[in-house]
Amino acid sequence: MDSKKIKNMPRHIAIIMDGNNRWAKKRFLPGVAGHKAGADAVRAVIRACMQQGVEALTLFAFSSENWQRPAQEVNALMELFLLSLRREIKQLHKHNIRLRIIGEKSGFSSDIQQAIADAETLTQDNTALQLNVAANYGGRWDIAQAARQLAQQVAEGTLQPDDITEEQLSRMVSLHDLPAPDLCIRTAGEQRISNFLLWQFAYTEFYYSDLLWPDFREQALVEAIEDYSGRQRRFGKTSEQVEGKVDA
C-alpha cells in the first residue's frame, strides 16, 4: 500500500498489544517466550508506521494492573523491559525515532528508571517518529495525576476552581503535546479499553484484530489503516456537515 494514495491517514496510532501469553501457550512455551516474540512485532510495526508516514505511535506495554500477575512473569517482564531499553535504543536513535515512556516511572527499579532517562535524553531531538511506550500506566492514574496538578495550583492560589476547564486538564495528561490518537488497534480478539488513555480516546476510532500480538506484522497494520481510512469522523457533527453539504 502506498501511503500517498491513502486519504485520512492517521497521524497517531495507539495499540493495545494483547495475546503474548496465548501465543506462547499454543506453542507449549513459557509466557516470557511470547513477550520476546511480541518484541519482534513491535519492531515490525514501528517500521511500518515510518513507511506509512505515521507521526506518533503509542504502545500499551505494561499496565498499572499488570503488577497483579504472577511474580515470575512480572520479574521476567521487567528484565525484558530493561534489556530492550538498553539494546533497542541505539537502533531507535539511528532511525531518528524519539522515545518517551509514559506512566508512573517511580514504580520501577532504579536501573530501569535510569535506562528510561538515558533513552529519552538520547532521542529527545529526533523527529522521524514519536514512539510512546505506556509502562506502569493506567488511564485513571493519568486523569488523577492531572487533577492533582490542578489542585496544587488551586492550593498555591494561582488558579481558581471555577476556572478549571477541559482544556486545562488536557494540558496535564500524558501525550498532551501530541494530537489525540486517531486510531486504536487491539489484538487477540478482545474488545475493551483496559484502562488505556481514557481521556485521550474521546474520539478515537477502534479496530480489533483477531491476531495474537506476536503475529501482528506490517500487513496487519496496513489493513487496520485501510479500514480506518474508509471511516467518516464526525466529532459530533452530522455527515452532511462533515461533507460540506450544509453549513457547519
Catalytic residue positions, numbered: 18, 66
Query: Long-range contacts of range 173-176, CB-CB < 8 Å, 24 or more positions apart?
Result: 173/142, 173/143, 173/146, 173/199, 173/200, 174/102, 174/103, 174/132, 174/134, 174/137, 174/142, 174/200, 175/56, 175/58, 175/102, 175/132, 175/200
Reduce the secondary structure of 4-52 to three states and give it as a string. Answer: HHCCCCCCEEEEECCCHHHHHHHCCCCHHHHHHHHHHHHHHHHHHHHHH
Residue 140's H or E segment, with its range, is helix 139-156
Is the separation of the CB atoms in 58 and 204 below 8 Å?
no
- Longest Cα separation, the chain: 60
Q: Which residues, at least 6 apart from 171, have a Cβ–Cβ distance to it below 8 Å?
A: none
Return the closest-CA partner of residue 230 out of 1, 7, 52.
7
